[in-house]
Structure 1
Amino acid sequence: MSKESYIGGDYIEWTGGKNEEYAKVIRISSNEKNNFTAVKEQTYGESKDPSEEDDKLCTCKVSKKATNFKTLIELVKQAEEMLIQNEYSDMGDRISIIRGVYYGTEWSLDYSTEKSSIRNKFFNIYTGSSVKADARKVLKCSENCKAKLFESLFATPEVFENSYKAVDFGHLIIGLDSRRSSVAKNITQPGQGGTGLELNTWIGDLGGGTANLSRQRIKNSTIRAKTIFPVGGHSYGAMVNLEGDVAAYVVGMNDNKPNDIVDATDNFKTIHEALKDYFDKKWNKRTFYFLAMLGAKVSGNNIIYTKSELESECAEKFEDFAEPYITLRNPTDLIEASNYFKPVSEEVAAIFIDALLHVVSKPEDMIAARIDPNPKPKVETLRYKAAKKAKELYENVKKIDVNPFD
């Protein structure tokens, strides 16, 4: 029930909300009070904050962690319905808010393990936008909401149909968010080897894997590139990661323009409908479409490519990203590890492209390493040679007798 108050010469009729900041009001001129002629409607605050309505009776359905593709669609649908109820009617805003559950915020799953504000900053730079709202606050009807949607999404970064069919939903959703930005889709980040979209997905995974393996080869040059492609793991080229990276591009794609990387909100009104379309209709051609977006040509139901060119382009990107990755994490190893960036990136790219092409012809199979290239010898970089020369010079200087009269 509304109530009236007198503020600054105007009568204010409060039509809802306990807090003045979020209250929706009808402003009425004082000289028109008698005939109640409304002259202006105004909303304070950008959106309704459900936590301000903690006395509201919650009738929400309790959500659950997704355990397969079907329940993932259901969970995302329930989350979208809550966000729409809380006035986030734009699909792009909903993508952004859900992305924040996993990356780029202090409440994200990534931050809970990495505790890195720098990573948050880079995720938002790569995505081309900051997160629209705090999912902890807007994924509920009230402070006492029993739906627990944030908790269920937080517990659902990866979803498995079975041990060999899965998707990383965190990678998928940050890919959708990145695709909303023309900068994230098209502009290469200086010195990092790829666009923001690429760095948030497959280059981030496999370029990071290239850096890590290069560092390992300082002590053991025989470690094989296939080790960063575990079927049951969760890092670098793990099967679930690669499936998420591919989905990040293909979910919500334009069927009529398979080579184009497009904003999913141009083709769908809801995230859950785009997910259903992917799992029901696009799954069997997922790597076909992904390769098309990497530059392979589509001719009807055929894809035309030069394997060596695809491998070379990917290897160059992995090599470029390895340097900033290891600089942030293990800077003291950079000089020696850099000798392995080129050979490792070539091995990783060969495994990756082969895995994608295998699934084009056998879509029921998972995206995983199927070849095992021999480790290539290191290639000494100019940086390494310069550092080595400087060290030799320093050792020689130490041997000089600076006081021959002793």
Structure 2
Amino acid sequence: MEGRRPLAERLRPRCLEDFVGQAHLVGEGRPLRRMLEEGTLSSMVLFGPPGTGKTTLAHLLAQGAGLPLFRLSAVEAGVAEVRKAVEKARETGQAVLLLDEVHRFSKAQQDALLPHLESGLLVLIGATTENPSFALGPALRSRLRFFPLYPLSAEEVYTLLRRGVNLLGLEEDEAALRLLAEAAQGDARRALNALELARSLSPRLGVEVVRSALGATLSGMDRWGDGFYDLVSALHKSIRGSHVDATLYYLARLVKGGADPLYLARRLIRIAAEDVGLADPQALRLAVAAKEAYEALGSPEGELALVEAAVYLALAPKSNSLYRAWQKAEEAALAHPEAPVPLHLKNAPTALMKAMGHGQGYAYYHEDKEGSFRQPYLPEGLQGLRLFEATGEGWEERVRARLEALWARFGPQEG
């Protein structure tokens, strides 16, 4: 029966000293170790990628506190299951409730936990691969502590694999284990499952057997989870920071991880407008063209168009003057939503409108440039409002020079 249990389950540590990884939580003087040493176990959420030890830590914490542990999955459990766990906890006086995928609990389900957390009857340990701050309500968040878990290092995964080799009675092959440790991408469960599969393929562990067990290497990216948005954020910031190599790396991670290339193309268009702007107006044209090229070619041929746009954007001079000016304009529009348009700027398609003064005194730019610039354009009370400030980056230096020349020639507008 023992042999039928997954290897990861059979290797689950029985004490904190055997736990591998997450030294920031379980090392000397760190919060989870101190909880156990001081007997002050409190409700918490452990969040991080799969295979990093969330469930194992929950078991060790409950065991160390001498409390029974009840496990529920938020995917399947509802308020009724929570009530059953509460009844069992009352029988023992206090219990730990391990709630997998805690971010999936609805507000009603979260509220059902609150009085029992408040009374201390339940100690909740939530486990999730998602960022809990987006899903948990304020009332529940205020009763929890949040601890992030990180992917294991290749060396830490290697340590676990050596334990697995010993348990399975295999002859150790360092090259094969190193390959497996790297390919696991910080996921201990993935590594141990692959090791177990490798043993079923051949009684002798080796690099080729491990490669067969691994199959197609999976990307460490949830297509629409935190990992996806972290990579998109890294791509955006690398382009903004003009780091070409990081730009290429994160773009490749996203493409090979299964991100929608058209989503990435739209993101590049946004970067061209937000971070390059008027410093290089050609950037926006190229980004739009890259999207159209991908739509015409598809993968993999069209991916090179995205690469061209990404590299161009990374190398282009940067200016967010348009982005900042638009933010200021939105704020001004919200602060003065009813400010009347000056009469001379209003259209006058009818005799009545002309009689009301619409368009009267308007200076037509091509006939009266000086008068055109001196006439007020903003509503009364907003004259002198400055929203756009050109930088000295790239083409925008010419824009700044033109603005300065206009102001020097005509002076500030009069109301």
Give the TM-score normalised by structure 2: 0.29
Q: Which has the higher contact order (CA 8 A, sep 6+)?
A: 1
Q: Which has more helix, going by share of residues?
A: 2
Structure showing greater radius of gyration is 2
Give the TM-score normalised by structure 1: 0.29
